[in-house]
Chain A
Amino acid sequence: MKIVFLLAACFSILAVALICIFLFANGVPAIWKIGVLDFLLGQKWMPANQLFGIFPMIVGSVYVTAGAIIVGVPMGILCAVFLARFCPERLYKIVKPAVSLLAGIPSIVYGFFGLVVIVPIMQDLTGGNGKGVLTASILLGIMILPTVIGVSESAIRAVPNSYYEGALALGATHERSVFFTLLPAAKQGILAGVILGVGRAIGETMAVIMIAGNQPVVPDSIFGGVRTLTANIVMEMGYAADLHREALLGTGVVLFVFILIINLSFSALKRRRS
Protein backbone atom coordinates (compact mmCIF):
# COMPACT_ATOMS: atom_id res chain seq x y z
CA MET A 1 0.00 0.00 0.00
CA LYS A 2 2.91 2.27 0.73
CA ILE A 3 3.84 1.88 -2.92
CA VAL A 4 0.48 3.26 -3.99
CA PHE A 5 0.95 6.34 -1.84
CA LEU A 6 4.47 6.72 -3.15
CA LEU A 7 3.26 6.52 -6.74
CA ALA A 8 0.62 9.12 -6.05
CA ALA A 9 3.26 11.39 -4.57
CA CYS A 10 5.33 10.95 -7.68
CA PHE A 11 2.44 12.10 -9.83
CA SER A 12 3.24 15.75 -9.30
CA ILE A 13 6.79 15.09 -10.47
CA LEU A 14 5.36 13.39 -13.54
CA ALA A 15 3.02 16.30 -14.17
CA VAL A 16 5.79 18.88 -14.03
CA ALA A 17 7.95 16.68 -16.25
CA LEU A 18 5.14 16.31 -18.79
CA ILE A 19 4.42 20.02 -18.85
CA CYS A 20 8.10 20.78 -19.32
CA ILE A 21 8.55 18.18 -22.05
CA PHE A 22 5.52 19.17 -24.07
CA LEU A 23 6.06 22.89 -23.74
CA PHE A 24 9.77 22.77 -24.48
CA ALA A 25 9.49 20.20 -27.27
CA ASN A 26 6.98 22.39 -29.06
CA GLY A 27 8.37 25.80 -28.26
CA VAL A 28 12.13 25.48 -28.24
CA PRO A 29 12.58 24.36 -31.88
CA ALA A 30 10.73 27.47 -32.99
CA ILE A 31 12.98 29.64 -30.85
CA TRP A 32 16.00 28.02 -32.51
CA LYS A 33 14.50 28.47 -35.95
CA ILE A 34 13.82 32.14 -35.34
CA GLY A 35 17.14 32.57 -33.58
CA VAL A 36 17.39 32.89 -29.83
CA LEU A 37 18.51 36.50 -29.91
CA ASP A 38 16.10 37.52 -32.66
CA PHE A 39 13.31 35.96 -30.65
CA LEU A 40 14.17 37.36 -27.24
CA LEU A 41 15.52 40.74 -28.27
CA GLY A 42 13.64 41.37 -31.52
CA GLN A 43 11.63 44.58 -31.37
CA LYS A 44 9.12 43.71 -34.05
CA TRP A 45 6.25 41.26 -33.76
CA MET A 46 4.75 40.91 -37.22
CA PRO A 47 3.71 37.29 -37.64
CA ALA A 48 2.50 37.82 -41.18
CA ASN A 49 6.04 38.80 -42.17
CA GLN A 50 7.79 36.14 -40.14
CA LEU A 51 9.09 38.68 -37.64
CA PHE A 52 8.83 37.19 -34.19
CA GLY A 53 10.48 39.45 -31.65
CA ILE A 54 9.00 39.18 -28.19
CA PHE A 55 11.17 41.81 -26.53
CA PRO A 56 8.26 44.30 -26.24
CA MET A 57 6.17 41.60 -24.56
CA ILE A 58 8.92 40.70 -22.09
CA VAL A 59 9.33 44.36 -21.23
CA GLY A 60 5.54 44.66 -21.05
CA SER A 61 5.23 41.81 -18.59
CA VAL A 62 8.04 43.23 -16.47
CA TYR A 63 6.57 46.76 -16.45
CA VAL A 64 3.08 45.62 -15.61
CA THR A 65 4.31 43.29 -12.89
CA ALA A 66 6.50 46.02 -11.40
CA GLY A 67 3.55 48.39 -11.50
CA ALA A 68 1.35 45.83 -9.80
CA ILE A 69 3.95 45.50 -7.04
CA ILE A 70 4.14 49.26 -6.54
CA VAL A 71 0.35 49.47 -6.29
CA GLY A 72 -0.46 46.21 -4.58
CA VAL A 73 2.39 45.42 -2.21
CA PRO A 74 2.38 48.50 0.08
CA MET A 75 -1.40 48.38 0.18
CA GLY A 76 -1.35 44.66 0.88
CA ILE A 77 1.23 44.89 3.65
CA LEU A 78 -0.57 47.78 5.34
CA CYS A 79 -3.81 45.87 5.05
CA ALA A 80 -2.17 42.82 6.59
CA VAL A 81 -0.92 45.01 9.44
CA PHE A 82 -4.45 46.27 9.86
CA LEU A 83 -5.88 42.77 10.00
CA ALA A 84 -3.22 41.47 12.33
CA ARG A 85 -2.81 44.36 14.76
CA PHE A 86 -5.40 47.10 14.31
CA CYS A 87 -8.64 45.39 13.47
CA PRO A 88 -11.27 44.96 16.19
CA GLU A 89 -12.41 41.36 16.55
CA ARG A 90 -15.91 42.05 15.34
CA LEU A 91 -14.77 43.87 12.22
CA TYR A 92 -12.25 41.11 11.51
CA LYS A 93 -15.06 38.62 11.01
CA ILE A 94 -16.29 40.75 8.11
CA VAL A 95 -13.03 41.96 6.61
CA LYS A 96 -11.23 38.63 6.50
CA PRO A 97 -13.86 36.81 4.41
CA ALA A 98 -14.15 39.91 2.24
CA VAL A 99 -10.45 39.71 1.42
CA SER A 100 -10.69 36.03 0.57
CA LEU A 101 -13.69 36.84 -1.61
CA LEU A 102 -11.44 39.23 -3.51
CA ALA A 103 -9.23 36.21 -4.25
CA GLY A 104 -12.16 34.16 -5.50
CA ILE A 105 -13.56 36.57 -8.08
CA PRO A 106 -12.80 35.19 -11.57
CA SER A 107 -10.19 37.15 -13.46
CA ILE A 108 -12.48 37.65 -16.42
CA VAL A 109 -14.84 39.56 -14.12
CA TYR A 110 -11.93 41.70 -12.94
CA GLY A 111 -11.02 42.40 -16.54
CA PHE A 112 -14.50 43.48 -17.45
CA PHE A 113 -14.71 45.68 -14.36
CA GLY A 114 -11.41 47.27 -15.36
CA LEU A 115 -12.63 47.85 -18.90
CA VAL A 116 -15.88 49.57 -18.01
CA VAL A 117 -14.87 51.32 -14.77
CA ILE A 118 -11.13 51.95 -14.53
CA VAL A 119 -10.46 52.60 -18.22
CA PRO A 120 -12.99 55.48 -18.58
CA ILE A 121 -11.65 57.07 -15.40
CA MET A 122 -8.12 56.88 -16.75
CA GLN A 123 -9.33 58.40 -20.02
CA ASP A 124 -10.64 61.41 -18.12
CA LEU A 125 -7.48 61.71 -16.11
CA THR A 126 -4.94 61.33 -18.87
CA GLY A 127 -6.84 62.26 -22.01
CA GLY A 128 -5.48 59.22 -23.80
CA ASN A 129 -7.32 56.01 -24.51
CA GLY A 130 -7.08 54.96 -20.89
CA LYS A 131 -5.50 51.59 -21.53
CA GLY A 132 -1.92 50.95 -20.70
CA VAL A 133 0.74 50.20 -18.14
CA LEU A 134 -0.83 52.27 -15.36
CA THR A 135 -4.33 50.86 -15.79
CA ALA A 136 -3.04 47.31 -15.95
CA SER A 137 -0.82 47.95 -12.92
CA ILE A 138 -3.72 49.21 -10.84
CA LEU A 139 -5.97 46.31 -11.76
CA LEU A 140 -3.24 43.72 -11.23
CA GLY A 141 -2.31 45.48 -7.99
CA ILE A 142 -5.85 44.90 -6.80
CA MET A 143 -5.76 41.31 -8.00
CA ILE A 144 -2.60 40.44 -6.06
CA LEU A 145 -3.88 42.09 -2.87
CA PRO A 146 -5.46 38.96 -1.38
CA THR A 147 -2.28 36.93 -1.96
CA VAL A 148 -0.05 39.58 -0.38
CA ILE A 149 -2.47 40.21 2.48
CA GLY A 150 -2.96 36.54 3.30
CA VAL A 151 0.70 35.56 3.41
CA SER A 152 1.86 38.78 5.12
CA GLU A 153 -0.83 38.55 7.77
CA SER A 154 0.14 35.05 8.80
CA ALA A 155 3.81 36.09 8.78
CA ILE A 156 3.08 39.03 11.09
CA ARG A 157 0.97 36.84 13.35
CA ALA A 158 3.77 34.28 13.52
CA VAL A 159 6.11 36.80 15.19
CA PRO A 160 6.16 36.12 18.95
CA ASN A 161 4.08 38.64 20.85
CA SER A 162 7.00 39.29 23.22
CA TYR A 163 8.63 41.39 20.45
CA TYR A 164 5.66 43.69 20.40
CA GLU A 165 5.33 43.83 24.16
CA GLY A 166 9.01 44.51 24.55
CA ALA A 167 8.79 47.50 22.23
CA LEU A 168 5.76 48.82 24.08
CA ALA A 169 7.57 48.42 27.38
CA LEU A 170 10.40 50.54 26.01
CA GLY A 171 7.89 53.33 25.46
CA ALA A 172 7.21 52.96 21.75
CA THR A 173 3.70 53.68 20.51
CA HIS A 174 1.49 50.92 19.15
CA GLU A 175 2.30 51.93 15.57
CA ARG A 176 6.04 52.14 16.13
CA SER A 177 6.07 48.75 17.83
CA VAL A 178 4.19 47.18 14.96
CA PHE A 179 6.13 48.80 12.15
CA PHE A 180 9.61 48.73 13.60
CA THR A 181 9.66 45.44 15.51
CA LEU A 182 6.97 43.18 14.10
CA LEU A 183 7.36 44.03 10.41
CA PRO A 184 11.14 43.59 10.27
CA ALA A 185 10.80 40.30 12.12
CA ALA A 186 8.21 39.11 9.62
CA LYS A 187 10.10 40.35 6.61
CA GLN A 188 10.92 36.98 5.09
CA GLY A 189 7.34 35.83 5.26
CA ILE A 190 6.21 39.07 3.71
CA LEU A 191 8.78 38.69 0.95
CA ALA A 192 7.36 35.24 0.24
CA GLY A 193 3.94 36.81 -0.12
CA VAL A 194 5.33 39.40 -2.50
CA ILE A 195 6.97 36.73 -4.64
CA LEU A 196 3.71 34.80 -4.82
CA GLY A 197 2.01 38.02 -5.83
CA VAL A 198 4.58 38.57 -8.58
CA GLY A 199 3.87 35.09 -9.85
CA ARG A 200 0.19 35.81 -9.99
CA ALA A 201 0.65 39.18 -11.70
CA ILE A 202 2.99 37.86 -14.38
CA GLY A 203 0.74 34.92 -15.18
CA GLU A 204 -2.52 36.83 -15.28
CA THR A 205 -4.17 36.68 -18.67
CA MET A 206 -7.85 37.25 -19.05
CA ALA A 207 -7.99 40.50 -17.09
CA VAL A 208 -4.87 42.07 -18.59
CA ILE A 209 -5.92 41.41 -22.13
CA MET A 210 -8.94 43.69 -21.79
CA ILE A 211 -7.22 46.72 -20.30
CA ALA A 212 -3.61 46.84 -21.41
CA GLY A 213 -4.10 48.02 -24.99
CA ASN A 214 -2.01 45.13 -26.31
CA GLN A 215 0.21 47.11 -28.67
CA PRO A 216 3.26 44.99 -29.45
CA VAL A 217 5.64 47.88 -28.81
CA VAL A 218 7.75 48.91 -25.85
CA PRO A 219 5.58 51.49 -24.08
CA ASP A 220 6.93 55.04 -24.15
CA SER A 221 5.23 56.17 -20.94
CA ILE A 222 3.21 54.72 -18.10
CA PHE A 223 0.08 55.65 -20.01
CA GLY A 224 1.27 53.86 -23.13
CA GLY A 225 -0.32 50.62 -24.24
CA VAL A 226 1.49 47.42 -23.53
CA ARG A 227 1.21 43.75 -24.43
CA THR A 228 2.22 41.06 -21.96
CA LEU A 229 3.53 37.57 -22.75
CA THR A 230 0.26 36.03 -21.63
CA ALA A 231 -1.82 38.38 -23.76
CA ASN A 232 0.33 37.58 -26.77
CA ILE A 233 -0.42 33.88 -26.39
CA VAL A 234 -4.12 34.05 -25.78
CA MET A 235 -4.87 36.64 -28.45
CA GLU A 236 -3.23 34.95 -31.37
CA MET A 237 -3.16 31.28 -30.43
CA GLY A 238 -6.50 30.70 -32.10
CA TYR A 239 -5.48 31.97 -35.49
CA ALA A 240 -1.91 30.96 -35.58
CA ALA A 241 -0.54 28.32 -37.87
CA ASP A 242 2.90 26.88 -38.56
CA LEU A 243 5.83 28.94 -37.30
CA HIS A 244 3.53 31.60 -35.82
CA ARG A 245 1.91 28.98 -33.59
CA GLU A 246 5.27 27.61 -32.56
CA ALA A 247 6.47 31.14 -31.80
CA LEU A 248 3.49 31.56 -29.47
CA LEU A 249 4.38 28.28 -27.78
CA GLY A 250 7.89 29.71 -27.54
CA THR A 251 6.35 32.70 -25.77
CA GLY A 252 4.80 30.21 -23.40
CA VAL A 253 8.22 28.71 -22.78
CA VAL A 254 9.66 32.12 -21.91
CA LEU A 255 6.76 32.76 -19.55
CA PHE A 256 7.24 29.33 -18.00
CA VAL A 257 10.94 29.97 -17.45
CA PHE A 258 10.09 33.26 -15.74
CA ILE A 259 7.69 31.44 -13.43
CA LEU A 260 10.23 28.72 -12.73
CA ILE A 261 12.80 31.32 -11.69
CA ILE A 262 10.27 33.00 -9.41
CA ASN A 263 9.21 29.67 -7.90
CA LEU A 264 12.74 28.48 -7.32
CA SER A 265 13.68 31.70 -5.58
CA PHE A 266 10.53 31.28 -3.50
CA SER A 267 11.49 27.75 -2.44
CA ALA A 268 15.06 28.86 -1.77
CA LEU A 269 13.73 31.63 0.45
CA LYS A 270 11.49 29.20 2.28
CA ARG A 271 14.31 26.75 2.86
CA ARG A 272 16.51 29.47 4.24
CA ARG A 273 13.77 30.43 6.64
CA SER A 274 13.21 26.93 7.98
Chain B
Amino acid sequence: MRVQNKEKISQRLRSYKKQPLSALLFLLVMFSAVVTLSVLIALIAYILFKGIPNLSPELFAWEYTTENVSMMPAIINTLIITALSLLFALPIGIASAIYLVEYAKRGNKLVSLVRVTTETLSGIPSIVYGLFGYLFFNIFLEWSYTILGGALTLAIMILPLIMRTTEEALIAVPDLYREGSFGLGAGKLRTVFRIVLPSAVPGILAGVILAIGRIVGETAALLYPAGTAAQVADGLMSSGRTLAVHMYALLNEGLYMEQAYATAVVLLVMVIGINALSGLIAKKVGVKE
Protein backbone atom coordinates (compact mmCIF):
# COMPACT_ATOMS: atom_id res chain seq x y z
CA MET B 1 0.00 0.00 0.00
CA ARG B 2 2.71 2.42 1.03
CA VAL B 3 4.86 1.57 -1.94
CA GLN B 4 1.91 2.14 -4.18
CA ASN B 5 1.34 5.50 -2.58
CA LYS B 6 4.95 6.46 -3.04
CA GLU B 7 4.78 5.47 -6.66
CA LYS B 8 1.68 7.54 -7.07
CA ILE B 9 3.31 10.54 -5.49
CA SER B 10 6.46 10.30 -7.56
CA GLN B 11 4.33 9.86 -10.64
CA ARG B 12 2.43 12.96 -9.69
CA LEU B 13 5.58 14.93 -9.04
CA ARG B 14 6.90 13.96 -12.45
CA SER B 15 3.72 15.12 -14.08
CA TYR B 16 3.93 18.43 -12.19
CA LYS B 17 7.36 19.02 -13.68
CA LYS B 18 5.78 18.90 -17.09
CA GLN B 19 2.75 20.87 -16.00
CA PRO B 20 3.88 23.93 -14.06
CA LEU B 21 0.37 25.43 -14.08
CA SER B 22 -1.09 22.32 -12.50
CA ALA B 23 1.65 22.34 -9.93
CA LEU B 24 0.91 25.96 -9.12
CA LEU B 25 -2.80 25.31 -8.82
CA PHE B 26 -2.16 22.34 -6.59
CA LEU B 27 0.05 24.41 -4.33
CA LEU B 28 -2.51 27.22 -4.17
CA VAL B 29 -5.27 24.82 -3.19
CA MET B 30 -3.20 23.20 -0.50
CA PHE B 31 -1.96 26.53 0.70
CA SER B 32 -5.38 28.06 1.17
CA ALA B 33 -6.64 24.96 2.94
CA VAL B 34 -3.70 25.14 5.31
CA VAL B 35 -4.14 28.87 5.92
CA THR B 36 -7.87 28.51 6.60
CA LEU B 37 -7.27 25.76 9.09
CA SER B 38 -4.41 27.54 10.80
CA VAL B 39 -6.51 30.68 11.21
CA LEU B 40 -9.16 28.61 12.93
CA ILE B 41 -6.60 26.91 15.12
CA ALA B 42 -4.94 30.21 15.99
CA LEU B 43 -8.32 31.70 16.92
CA ILE B 44 -9.30 28.81 19.17
CA ALA B 45 -5.86 28.41 20.69
CA TYR B 46 -5.69 32.10 21.47
CA ILE B 47 -9.05 32.19 23.21
CA LEU B 48 -8.36 29.07 25.22
CA PHE B 49 -4.85 30.19 26.11
CA LYS B 50 -6.00 33.59 27.34
CA GLY B 51 -9.30 32.50 28.82
CA ILE B 52 -8.76 29.24 30.66
CA PRO B 53 -6.42 30.70 33.32
CA ASN B 54 -9.17 33.20 34.09
CA LEU B 55 -11.90 30.64 34.59
CA SER B 56 -12.82 30.32 38.22
CA PRO B 57 -15.77 28.90 40.12
CA GLU B 58 -16.68 32.45 41.15
CA LEU B 59 -17.60 33.22 37.56
CA PHE B 60 -20.41 30.70 37.83
CA ALA B 61 -22.03 31.98 41.01
CA TRP B 62 -25.80 32.29 40.87
CA GLU B 63 -25.90 36.00 41.52
CA TYR B 64 -24.03 38.65 39.57
CA THR B 65 -22.15 41.09 41.74
CA THR B 66 -19.34 43.45 40.87
CA GLU B 67 -17.07 41.25 43.00
CA ASN B 68 -17.52 37.95 41.17
CA VAL B 69 -18.69 39.23 37.75
CA SER B 70 -20.58 35.99 37.41
CA MET B 71 -21.68 34.92 33.97
CA MET B 72 -24.23 32.47 35.32
CA PRO B 73 -27.19 34.87 35.03
CA ALA B 74 -26.11 35.58 31.45
CA ILE B 75 -25.99 31.85 30.70
CA ILE B 76 -29.47 31.39 32.15
CA ASN B 77 -30.74 34.38 30.17
CA THR B 78 -29.24 32.88 27.04
CA LEU B 79 -31.18 29.68 27.68
CA ILE B 80 -34.40 31.59 28.35
CA ILE B 81 -34.07 33.73 25.22
CA THR B 82 -33.16 30.70 23.11
CA ALA B 83 -36.18 28.78 24.37
CA LEU B 84 -38.51 31.73 23.84
CA SER B 85 -37.29 32.45 20.32
CA LEU B 86 -37.68 28.83 19.34
CA LEU B 87 -41.12 28.76 20.90
CA PHE B 88 -42.20 31.49 18.50
CA ALA B 89 -40.16 30.65 15.45
CA LEU B 90 -40.59 26.85 15.38
CA PRO B 91 -44.38 26.57 14.96
CA ILE B 92 -44.48 29.40 12.43
CA GLY B 93 -41.45 28.14 10.55
CA ILE B 94 -42.62 24.54 10.39
CA ALA B 95 -46.16 25.52 9.44
CA SER B 96 -44.85 27.78 6.65
CA ALA B 97 -42.64 25.01 5.35
CA ILE B 98 -45.56 22.57 5.41
CA TYR B 99 -47.61 25.04 3.42
CA LEU B 100 -44.85 25.57 0.88
CA VAL B 101 -44.10 21.89 0.41
CA GLU B 102 -47.40 20.10 0.94
CA TYR B 103 -50.10 22.58 0.01
CA ALA B 104 -48.89 25.30 -2.30
CA LYS B 105 -49.31 24.86 -6.00
CA ARG B 106 -46.40 25.38 -8.31
CA GLY B 107 -46.05 28.82 -9.79
CA ASN B 108 -48.26 30.37 -7.13
CA LYS B 109 -47.56 34.13 -6.90
CA LEU B 110 -47.87 34.06 -3.13
CA VAL B 111 -45.34 31.29 -2.86
CA SER B 112 -42.74 33.18 -4.81
CA LEU B 113 -43.43 36.24 -2.68
CA VAL B 114 -42.92 34.17 0.46
CA ARG B 115 -39.66 32.86 -0.94
CA VAL B 116 -38.35 36.29 -1.83
CA THR B 117 -39.24 37.70 1.59
CA THR B 118 -37.70 34.73 3.37
CA GLU B 119 -34.48 35.23 1.45
CA THR B 120 -34.60 38.91 2.31
CA LEU B 121 -35.05 38.10 5.98
CA SER B 122 -32.07 35.78 5.97
CA GLY B 123 -29.90 38.49 4.42
CA ILE B 124 -30.75 41.32 6.81
CA PRO B 125 -27.81 42.14 9.07
CA SER B 126 -28.34 41.69 12.78
CA ILE B 127 -27.85 45.38 13.51
CA VAL B 128 -30.90 46.16 11.36
CA TYR B 129 -32.87 43.58 13.34
CA GLY B 130 -31.67 45.30 16.47
CA LEU B 131 -32.87 48.69 15.20
CA PHE B 132 -36.20 47.22 14.20
CA GLY B 133 -36.66 45.52 17.56
CA TYR B 134 -35.92 48.79 19.29
CA LEU B 135 -38.28 50.80 17.08
CA PHE B 136 -41.10 48.27 17.25
CA PHE B 137 -41.02 46.86 20.77
CA ASN B 138 -39.38 49.63 22.77
CA ILE B 139 -40.75 52.71 21.03
CA PHE B 140 -43.94 51.70 19.24
CA LEU B 141 -45.26 49.22 21.81
CA GLU B 142 -43.66 51.20 24.62
CA TRP B 143 -42.16 48.21 26.36
CA SER B 144 -38.95 48.99 28.15
CA TYR B 145 -35.98 46.68 27.66
CA THR B 146 -37.47 43.19 27.77
CA ILE B 147 -36.23 39.71 27.04
CA LEU B 148 -39.57 39.10 25.33
CA GLY B 149 -38.78 41.84 22.82
CA GLY B 150 -35.30 40.41 22.34
CA ALA B 151 -36.63 36.90 21.87
CA LEU B 152 -39.26 38.04 19.35
CA THR B 153 -36.61 39.95 17.38
CA LEU B 154 -34.45 36.84 17.30
CA ALA B 155 -37.45 34.69 16.37
CA ILE B 156 -37.89 36.74 13.20
CA MET B 157 -34.17 36.48 12.58
CA ILE B 158 -34.03 32.67 12.79
CA LEU B 159 -37.36 32.13 11.02
CA PRO B 160 -35.86 31.84 7.51
CA LEU B 161 -33.28 29.35 8.77
CA ILE B 162 -35.95 27.12 10.30
CA MET B 163 -38.20 27.46 7.26
CA ARG B 164 -35.45 26.49 4.86
CA THR B 165 -34.15 23.47 6.77
CA THR B 166 -37.68 22.22 7.43
CA GLU B 167 -38.56 22.66 3.78
CA GLU B 168 -35.52 20.67 2.72
CA ALA B 169 -36.32 17.97 5.24
CA LEU B 170 -39.93 17.74 4.03
CA ILE B 171 -38.90 17.59 0.40
CA ALA B 172 -36.50 14.78 1.25
CA VAL B 173 -39.36 12.62 2.51
CA PRO B 174 -40.11 10.24 -0.39
CA ASP B 175 -43.49 10.67 -2.08
CA LEU B 176 -43.98 6.95 -1.59
CA TYR B 177 -44.71 7.59 2.10
CA ARG B 178 -47.42 10.08 1.24
CA GLU B 179 -48.96 7.85 -1.40
CA GLY B 180 -48.89 4.90 0.97
CA SER B 181 -50.65 6.93 3.62
CA PHE B 182 -53.29 8.19 1.20
CA GLY B 183 -53.72 4.64 -0.09
CA LEU B 184 -54.55 3.46 3.40
CA GLY B 185 -57.26 6.07 3.58
CA ALA B 186 -55.57 8.74 5.67
CA GLY B 187 -56.49 12.36 5.06
CA LYS B 188 -54.07 15.10 4.03
CA LEU B 189 -53.67 16.49 7.53
CA ARG B 190 -53.16 13.09 9.11
CA THR B 191 -50.58 12.23 6.45
CA VAL B 192 -48.67 15.43 7.12
CA PHE B 193 -48.63 15.09 10.89
CA ARG B 194 -48.35 11.33 11.27
CA ILE B 195 -46.19 10.36 8.31
CA VAL B 196 -44.31 13.24 6.73
CA LEU B 197 -43.42 15.36 9.75
CA PRO B 198 -42.01 12.50 11.89
CA SER B 199 -39.74 11.42 9.05
CA ALA B 200 -38.52 14.98 8.72
CA VAL B 201 -37.72 15.44 12.41
CA PRO B 202 -33.94 14.92 12.18
CA GLY B 203 -33.68 17.52 9.43
CA ILE B 204 -35.77 19.99 11.40
CA LEU B 205 -33.64 19.33 14.45
CA ALA B 206 -30.50 20.16 12.50
CA GLY B 207 -32.09 23.50 11.58
CA VAL B 208 -33.02 24.15 15.21
CA ILE B 209 -29.44 23.59 16.28
CA LEU B 210 -28.14 25.97 13.64
CA ALA B 211 -30.64 28.51 14.93
CA ILE B 212 -29.48 28.00 18.50
CA GLY B 213 -25.93 28.62 17.35
CA ARG B 214 -26.97 31.88 15.78
CA ILE B 215 -28.85 33.02 18.90
CA VAL B 216 -25.98 32.20 21.23
CA GLY B 217 -23.55 34.29 19.20
CA GLU B 218 -25.84 37.26 18.66
CA THR B 219 -24.99 40.67 20.09
CA ALA B 220 -26.09 43.49 17.83
CA ALA B 221 -29.71 42.38 17.50
CA LEU B 222 -30.18 42.02 21.26
CA LEU B 223 -28.46 45.15 22.51
CA TYR B 224 -31.39 47.48 21.91
CA PRO B 225 -34.52 45.37 22.47
CA ALA B 226 -33.35 43.27 25.42
CA GLY B 227 -31.06 45.65 27.26
CA THR B 228 -28.07 44.80 29.38
CA ALA B 229 -29.22 44.10 32.94
CA ALA B 230 -26.80 41.65 34.51
CA GLN B 231 -29.37 39.67 36.49
CA VAL B 232 -31.47 36.72 35.55
CA ALA B 233 -34.57 38.27 34.06
CA ASP B 234 -37.39 37.96 36.59
CA GLY B 235 -40.15 37.82 34.05
CA LEU B 236 -40.74 38.18 30.34
CA MET B 237 -41.04 41.92 30.61
CA SER B 238 -37.75 42.59 32.34
CA SER B 239 -34.32 43.00 30.90
CA GLY B 240 -31.51 40.49 30.77
CA ARG B 241 -28.27 40.08 28.87
CA THR B 242 -27.19 36.94 27.07
CA LEU B 243 -23.65 35.65 27.20
CA ALA B 244 -22.49 37.44 24.05
CA VAL B 245 -24.01 40.72 25.24
CA HIS B 246 -22.40 40.08 28.63
CA MET B 247 -19.02 39.91 26.94
CA TYR B 248 -19.74 43.11 25.04
CA ALA B 249 -20.76 44.87 28.25
CA LEU B 250 -17.66 43.64 30.08
CA LEU B 251 -15.47 45.00 27.32
CA ASN B 252 -17.26 48.31 27.37
CA GLU B 253 -15.87 49.67 30.59
CA GLY B 254 -12.52 47.90 30.50
CA LEU B 255 -12.68 46.92 34.15
CA TYR B 256 -13.16 43.22 33.61
CA MET B 257 -10.84 42.08 30.82
CA GLU B 258 -9.97 38.72 32.41
CA GLN B 259 -13.60 37.90 32.87
CA ALA B 260 -14.27 38.85 29.25
CA TYR B 261 -11.65 36.34 28.12
CA ALA B 262 -13.21 33.68 30.32
CA THR B 263 -16.61 34.47 28.87
CA ALA B 264 -15.16 34.01 25.40
CA VAL B 265 -14.03 30.50 26.38
CA VAL B 266 -17.49 29.58 27.61
CA LEU B 267 -19.05 30.99 24.43
CA LEU B 268 -16.61 29.02 22.33
CA VAL B 269 -17.29 25.80 24.22
CA MET B 270 -21.02 26.34 23.73
CA VAL B 271 -20.56 26.88 19.99
CA ILE B 272 -18.34 23.81 19.65
CA GLY B 273 -20.89 21.77 21.57
CA ILE B 274 -23.72 22.98 19.37
CA ASN B 275 -21.72 22.19 16.25
CA ALA B 276 -20.82 18.73 17.48
CA LEU B 277 -24.48 18.08 18.22
CA SER B 278 -25.56 19.11 14.75
CA GLY B 279 -22.81 16.93 13.26
CA LEU B 280 -24.10 14.01 15.28
CA ILE B 281 -27.65 14.53 14.10
CA ALA B 282 -26.53 14.93 10.51
CA LYS B 283 -24.76 11.59 10.83
CA LYS B 284 -27.91 9.98 12.23
CA VAL B 285 -29.89 11.29 9.27
CA GLY B 286 -27.29 9.85 6.95
CA VAL B 287 -27.51 6.44 8.60
CA LYS B 288 -31.28 6.42 8.28
CA GLU B 289 -31.17 6.99 4.61
Contact = CB atoms under 8 A, between A and B. Distances in A.
A99 B36 contact: yes
Contacts of A262: 123
A97 to B, nearest CB: 5
Contact of B220 (A205, A263, A264, A266): A205
A83 B43 CA distance: 21
A95 B135 contact: no
B169 interface: no
Contacts of B116: 264, 267
Given A5-B98, A22-B136, A74-B32, A108 B248 contact: yes
A8 B92 contact: yes
A260 interface: yes
A12 B95 contact: no
B131 interface: yes
B144 to A, nearest CB: 15
B184 interface: no
Interface residues of B, number: 84
Nearest to B279: A97
Nearest to A17: B117
| Residue of B21, B25, B131, B159 contacting most chain A CB atoms (<10 Å) | B131
B271 A263 contact: no
Given A79-B32, A107-B219, A173-B19, A16 B140 contact: no
A11 B244 contact: no
A4 interface: yes
Contact of B127 (A10, A11, A205): A205
Contacts of A204: 125
A273 to B, nearest CB: 14
A57 interface: no
B163 interface: yes
B248 A206 contact: yes
A78 B32 contact: yes
Nearest to B156: A15
A71 to B, nearest CB: 11
B127 A203 contact: yes
Contact of A9 (B96, B244, B268): B96
Nearest to A231: B127
A244 to B, nearest CB: 14
Interface residues of A, number: 77
A19 B124 contact: yes
Given A2-B103, A145-B36, A205-B220, A8 B96 contact: yes
Nearest to A206: B219
A116 to B, nearest CB: 8
A7 B91 CA distance: 12
A137 interface: no
Interface in B1-47: 15, 19, 21-23, 25-26, 28-33, 35-37, 39-40, 42-43, 46-47
B135 A249 contact: yes
A233 interface: yes
Given A5-B98, A12-B159, A18-B132, A176 B21 contact: yes
Interface of B: 15, 19, 21-23, 25-26, 28-33, 35-37, 39-40, 42-43, 46-47, 91-93, 95-96, 98-100, 102-104, 110-111, 113-121, 123-129, 131-132, 135-136, 140, 156, 159-160, 163, 189, 213, 216-220, 223-224, 244, 247-248, 251, 260, 264, 267-268, 271-272, 274-276, 278-279
Interface of A: 1-2, 4-13, 15-16, 18-19, 22-23, 26, 74-75, 78-79, 81-83, 86-87, 95, 97-102, 104-110, 112-113, 116-117, 142, 145, 149, 173-176, 178-179, 196, 199, 202-206, 230, 233-234, 237, 249, 252, 255-256, 259-260, 262-264, 266-267
6 contacts: A15-B117, A23-B135, A104-B213, A107-B219, A109-B268, A249-B135
5 smallest CB-CB distances across A and B, nearest first, come from A203-B125, A106-B217, A8-B95, A5-B99, A78-B32
